Amino acid sequence: MASILNIEGLSYHYGNNPDPVFANLDLRMEDGEFIAVVGGSGVGKSTLLRCVAGLASASHGSIELQVEEDDTRRSRSVVFQDGRLMPWRRLRSNVAYGLKGLKLTAEEKANRVDEVLKLARLDQLADRWPHQLSGGQVQRGGIARALAVKPHLLLMDEPFSAVDAITRQHLQDQLLAIWEQTRKAVMFITHDIEEAIYLADRVVVLSGSPANIALDQRIELPRPRRRGSDDLQALAQDIANAL
Ligand SMILES: Nc1ncnc2c1ncn2[C@@H]1O[C@H](COP(=O)(O)OP(=O)(O)OP(=O)(O)O)[C@@H](O)[C@H]1O
């Protein structure tokens, strides 16, 4: 498969702080690949994601996205921890918001919104206000909005950390179902090792100060994976050891 993301020699400093968050970091991603990035609190996971999203500029190094220019979609989009739905817009309007600026007719935009709401299983709730949605539904709204721009790379920053354990499991399964259908490249940030192994093709461990990749573990377990299985637990132990 073709490479979609190539990070080389990446370093990031906040402001005048002389100590970089991470330094000389290299990472490649194949198109369609699901990568989870794990690491302790404050190690630099969100900073890395923000650099890849174009929301922060690295001090050194390069981030190359190998995608074709297309003014009907965006190269990447982000799902944040809190869903970030605008409270003054109904769900449908929140999802449509990201389509501003794309070269689509009004009908094409409406079709896109319908398509991603269906994918996120929110089509029945399209006319609700955000405050009329559950935490899990808000997160799925955030995912639908990110998918509406048909990103080549979907970036997810701890998207399920604010919901209860049961909802989290449902959201994980729904995300996998969406991924199976769209086969999009996903970079998923989490501090939860088992979540990372349950979801991803590869788990990348960030560790140290400045941080770098301590382990890049391919997860060969066939899907659907079983939470709590011995294989999964053994991998979780290896990854915990690298943290
Ligand atoms: N705006 C900022 N100014 C200065 N330092 C910052 C800023 N934002 C984050 N940092 C520092 O950069 C480091 C990396 O932060 P980052 O948010 O990327 O970590 P993280 O791995 O995502 O952590 P967590 O899992 O707790 O969200 C931390 O030490 C943090 O204190």
Task: List the CATH number of the domain containing 22.
Answer: 3.40.50.300
ipTM: 0.97
Whether residue 225 is contained in a domain is answered as yes
Please write the tens of the pLDDT for every residue from 208-232: 999 999 999 999 999 999 998 999 9
Contact 102, 72 (CB under 8 A): yes
Do residues 167 and 181 share a domain?
A: yes
Do residues 54 and 157 share a domain?
A: yes
Statement: residue 39 has pLDDT above 80: yes
Domain with 91 in it: 85-150
Please write the tens of the pLDDT for every residue from 10-19: 999 998 888 9
Whether residue 72 is contained in a domain is answered as no
Do residues 226 and 196 share a domain?
A: yes
pTM, rounded to two decimals: 0.95
Do residues 54 and 166 share a domain?
A: yes
What's the average model confidence in pLDDT over 110-129? Answer: 94
Q: Which residue among 22, 25, 43, 209 has the greatest number of ligand 1 atoms within 8 angstroms of its CB, and so is best to mutate?
A: 43
Do residues 56 and 161 share a domain?
A: yes
H helical segments located in 72-164: 91-97, 106-119, 135-148
In three-state secondary structure terms, 87 is coil
**154 alpha carbon – ligand 1 mean position (Å):** 21
Whether residue 47 is contained in a domain is answered as yes
Do residues 91 and 142 share a domain?
A: yes
Statement: residue 97 has pLDDT above 80: yes
Whether residue 109 is contained in a domain is answered as yes
Q: Count structural domains, the chain.
A: 2
Whether residue 10 is contained in a domain is answered as yes
Residue nearest to atom 28 of ligand 1 (CA): 42
